[in-house]
Amino acid sequence: MSSDTIASKCVTSLYKNEDEPPTVMIGIPADVYARMKDGKAFIFDFSTGGVPVRVTLYGGETKEDCEKTLQRNATERGVFMVDDRNRKPGVKPS
């Protein structure tokens, strides 16, 4: 599918339940995922929905390639990165 059709775009949802933090859901079609693996990034700005955050999704051939992209991005912006790989993540399966 062509990357300029509505059928080949990511889908997003932003919602808030009373007792939970805001939840962002992002659906990635296969052709979009294939383009991400080639290094293309997709940026989602949720500030218009009341959540002041931007999410950037990107891909890489390996985990190391993805880490290099993170580091390059941080260096370009003068941001200090903390290595949290040994911390138990707050992400839980649904």
56 phi, psi to nearest 5 deg: -115, 120
Do 39 and 58 meet the contact criterion of CB atoms below 8 Å apart? yes
Question: Where along the chain do its domains lie?
Answer: 6-77
Confidence of residue 94 (pLDDT cuts 50, 70, 90): low
Q: What is the pLDDT of residues 80-93, one digit of tens each?
A: 877 776 666 666 55
Q: What is the pLDDT of residues 33-79, one digit of tens each?
A: 888 877 788 888 888 877 788 888 888 888 888 888 888 888 999 98
Residue 27 parent element (H or E): strand 23-27
Please report the pLDDT score of residue 22 as a whole number.
Answer: 78
0.85 exceeded by pTM? no
